[in-house]
Amino acid sequence: MSSQAELSSQAEPQFGALRLMAVHAHPDDESSKGAATMARYVREGVQVLVCTLTGGERGDILNPAMDRPEVKADMARIRREEMSRAREILGVEQKFLGFTDSGLPEGDPKPPLPPGCFALTPLAEAAEPLVRAVREFRPHVILTYDSSGGYPHPDHVKTHEVSVAAFEAAADPDAYPGSGEPWQPLKMYYFVSFHQAKFAALHEEMLRRDMESPYTKIFAEWEERARRRQADPGYHELEITTRVQAGDYFEVRDRALLAHETQIDPNGFWFACPLEVQRAAWPTEDYHLARSLVDTELPEDDLFAGVRESVSL
């Protein structure tokens, strides 16, 4: 895999800097989950590296204006260019880890996953490039998806699995010999991006301002989902432990999203709620603290709470 992996910009760890790594499945995921958080931390002097496990080659074209045969035929290259523009807008570093998009299987029954794709790669092999990246970049904090993937795409679920495996293995001197010097990340968070409390707050604020809410339809879907969840005693909502104030960076987030032209419809759902409504009703991006090797008090408003104190700056 390492022959395909490449650094889009040099991610040498800087002495004394706080470092944040966000692990994502496809190009565009970094702009829809935690983008404003990353933009804020970068501007506060934190080094931020996005690791993108696949090239997004099998993504559908979700913007009607881009739905042309010559675009479809050249998705791998176009998505790399889109990622490069989003990276510049966010101000982060970014690295592709070289796996092939598994695609979202659709239909009943679902078709089998394509041979050689990321989701079918055995876990020990799939985690190696991320272990190597963690040992190179030496992040204090890692962001990734929860065990559901946050979205039922096989690459998202696999991204969760390799992130958890790499969090453990990167620090283990007996694991992955030859893949760099051991490094122990201190905290790992799961994104809690598309949760009901946030959309309810946005919805109410839009109604309060006599605006037409785009969320009415998804509430009906959520109620249906909630009913199904109640029937599953093992199910529990991911608790929000950490809310990062990021409203000042929502505009940067939106510009990064728009850079993923094949994936984002500028007239679509993402942009249906004005920024001033978002800033008034829900100005944070939210996380669940999944692992911590430092002492911290919940709830938090900073991903580096307890880390700043233990890292000598």
Catalog residues that contact Zn ion under the rule CB under 5 A. Answer: 25-26, 29
Cβ–Cβ under 8 Å, residues 292 and 187 = yes
Smallest gap from Cβ 56 to Zn ion, in A, equals: 7
Cβ–Cβ under 8 Å, residues 102 and 155 = yes
Smallest gap from Cβ 263 to Zn ion, in A, equals: 9
Residue 13's identity, in one-letter code, is P
* Nearer Cβ to Zn ion (26/140): 26
Task: Report how far residue 16's alpha carbon sits from residue 22's, in angstroms, rounded to the nearest whole number.
Answer: 19
Smallest gap from Cβ 51 to Zn ion, in A, equals: 13
Give the residues across from 245 on adjacent strands.
284
* Nearer Cβ to Zn ion (169/192): 192
* Nearer Cβ to Zn ion (37/54): 54
Both structure tokens of 80: 């790399």
Smallest gap from Cβ 257 to Zn ion, in A, equals: 13
* Nearer Cβ to Zn ion (25/157): 25
Task: Report how far residue 194's alpha carbon sits from residue 150's, in angstroms, rounded to the nearest whole number.
Answer: 8
* Nearer Cβ to Zn ion (29/136): 29
Task: Report how far residue 125's alpha carbon sits from residue 143's, in angstroms, rounded to the nearest whole number.
Answer: 21
Alpha carbon of 187 to those of 1, 164, 294, 297: distances in Å?
Answer: 27, 11, 8, 13
Smallest gap from Cβ 48 to Zn ion, in A, equals: 19
Task: Report how far residue 299's alpha carbon sits from residue 288's, in angstroms, rounded to the nearest whole number.
Answer: 10
The residue number with the shortest CB distance to Zn ion is 26
